[in-house]
Amino acid sequence: MTRNDSFGEAWTRLTEWLAVMAPESLAAVRPAVAREGLPQELSELYAQCDGTLPTEAGRFLVSGCGFLGMDEAMALRARLVSLVDGPDVEANWWGLDWVPWAANHDGASCLFVDTGPGPGRGTVGYFFQETGGEAQLWPSLTAFLVALADAVEEGTPFFGGTPVVHGGALGWD
Digit-coded pLDDT (tens) for 14-55: 999 999 999 999 999 999 988 778 889 999 999 999 999 999
Specify the pLDDT at position 90.
Answer: 84
Q: Which pLDDT tens digit goes with each residue over 59-81?
A: 999 999 999 999 999 999 999 99
Coil, helix or strand at residue 153: helix
The yes-or-no verdict on residue 4 having pLDDT over 80 is: no
CA distances for 74 relative to 68, 70, 83, 108, 172, angstroms: 9, 6, 14, 15, 26
Name the β-bridge partners of 134: 126
Q: What is the pTM of this model?
A: 0.93
Give the DSSP letter string of 76-142.
HHHHHHHT--SHHHHHHT--TTEEEEEE-TTSSEEEEEE-SSSTTTT-EEEEETTTEEEEEEESSHH
